[in-house]
Chain A
Amino acid sequence: MADIELLPHNVPSQSELPELVEELTTLNLGPTHPATHGIFQNVLKMDGEKIVSGEQTIGYIHRAFEKIAERRPFYQITTLTDRMNYCSSPINNMGWHMTVEKLLGIEVPKRAQYIRVLMMELARITDHIICNSILGVDTGAFTGFLYVMQKREEVYEIYEEVCGARLTTNMGRVGGMERDLSSTAIRKIKEFIKSFPPVLRELEKLLNRNRIFMDRTINVGPISQERALSYGFTGPNLRAAGIDYDVRVMNPYSSYEDFDFEVPIGQNGDTFDRYMVRNEEMWQSLKIVEQAINNLPEGPYYADAPEFYLPPKQEVYKNMEALIYHFKIVMGEIDAPAGEVYHAVEGGNGELGFYLISDGGRAPYRLHFRRPSFIYYQAYPEMCKGSSLSDAILTMSSMNVIAGELDA
């Protein structure tokens, strides 16, 4: 074969080349983008594939929860908390009930506390299921998502059995639960405890030691302990950075001190650690659910506080006193004591706080929600600085920012 001679006449010499102008690209990610899992906008300055800086815009589903809360009696605010972190609404509901109970000084019986723990831990499982399986989807593994979504349906069936709703549960009442666990609910929970581990193990097999998944997530979007604390991280994201702060352990509420569970922590605060912490938390939650259902105490499922807890409907029809209380509660004629309460629970994403100021009226004077997503999401530009765009998507999805909670 003859040598092919390259013809030089078309190639400009180095000096003739036009000078390269370097400039940053502005990339608009969101507010509606399939990879953002929610409605937030990021305007990113990109140097090629690398992110130089980012600016966030949020508030796209701001619904004025705090303003509404000032106009609603205490028991109607539960519906608002549902819609805050809708992946784990029972935790929000119970957190709110406990805040009001703290204000009113109601002691809830053990059985109600255990049922609450049960529901809260199931909610935590559904929350983490979504976060972890969607993280899988973002790395290109759709299968795991389909597996675990089936299990989430089973948890929703349990919710339906306990309170009648699937997603926005409005579960329980101030002073306990609105009904006892039915035998079907108990059966379904026991079935879930048996049938969930194989599915979770399957998800683990798909992702945990998966080469592609590990390469995509390890050292992606890391945050140091100091920065995480400064940015107000809580929950799994803080624990992934290596700080074992868990409200359930630090300030036990609803009898969490009775349960034996561990608080998993990570080391690097990167996407992989966040994934692993959530993964392990699901096992721990399952352990708590198992303990709660096996040691479920006998007794009443609501507190003896007739001024605040709606009487059973049969009583209302037969009993004069019950009718009066029913009327007074529904018409919102019972005033709460004046006071100032801060109560925090461990939500799906971290410390979910309720700062309630009551002036003695039927509605809160001021109610402020400490929403974990809102506080830690501001660290996002710092976390994805210098990483590529595809990694930034994973960082966001592993932070589990829930738009409803973010914007309130």
Chain B
Amino acid sequence: MLTNQEVAEGLLEKFGDQVFGFEEPYGLLTLSTTREDILPLMEFLKDHKTWQVIFLTDLTGVQYPDNKGQEFVVVYHLHSFVHNFRIRIKVALSEADLHIPTATGLFASANWMERETYDFFGILFDGHPNLRRILNIEEMDYFPMRKEYPMEDATREDKIDALFGR
């Protein structure tokens, strides 16, 4: 059984202060890193002889508009089947420079998840083979999941704000 402590120590030893912000919300090891180190970090976890964190469960983005300089966070969830160990890695990005290297070289599943994240938040995954919108229409000119854009359809005229709580 792999413990959070063990992995955290191992990562600190290997990456030093490039990994930081260790937390354990609801028992899941969470840590942050920089975008320069995200690929080496995931590669290290994947190729580790005993840990074998080989499965990319989820990849998504979160926006914190008030957090100046770190408005966007890309969140990776990885899973080691052998030890039933999950780990969450976050990379913060600033709105002015939304670039992060793609993980498609490590996990084929990252392809669409990155496209989705791009579609929703406009985060650019450098080196992605086909970074286009995936869910929304290609003509869309904004990134709808960002907090500043409204959810509602702008063409509705019959729904009054007072009655529908829009």
Contact = CB atoms under 8 A, between A and B. Distances in A.
A–B contact via C-beta, under 8 angstroms: yes
A241 interface: no
Interface string B117-156: 0001000000000000111110000001100000100000
A342 interface: yes
Interface string A343-377: 01000000101010100000001101010001111
Contacts of A370: 57-58, 77
Contact of B107 (A68, A232, A344, A407): A232
Contacts of A230: 107-109
Given A64-B144, A67-B144, A351 B151 contact: no
Interface stretch (A206-214, A243-251, A314-322): A243-251
> For this complex, into which size category does the number of interface residues on chain B fall?
20 to 34
Contact of B112 (A70, A251, A342, A375): A375
B57 A351 contact: yes
A340 interface: yes
A71 B151 contact: yes
B136 A232 contact: no
Contacts of B137: 59
B134 A58 contact: yes
B1 to A, nearest CB: 13
A379 B111 CA distance: 10
B113 interface: yes
A340 B75 CA distance: 12
Contact of B108 (A71, A231, A342): A231
Interface stretch (B3-11, B37-45, B81-89): B81-89
Interface residues of A, number: 41
Contacts of A374: 112, 116
Nearest to B137: A59
B25 A375 contact: no
Contacts of B57: 232, 344, 351, 353, 370
B58 A353 contact: yes
B60 A368 contact: yes
Contacts of B12: none
Given A64-B144, A357-B62, A379 B151 contact: no
Interface of A: 58-59, 62, 64, 66-68, 70-71, 102-103, 227, 229-232, 243, 245, 250-251, 339-342, 344, 351, 353, 355, 357, 365-366, 368, 370, 374-379, 407-408
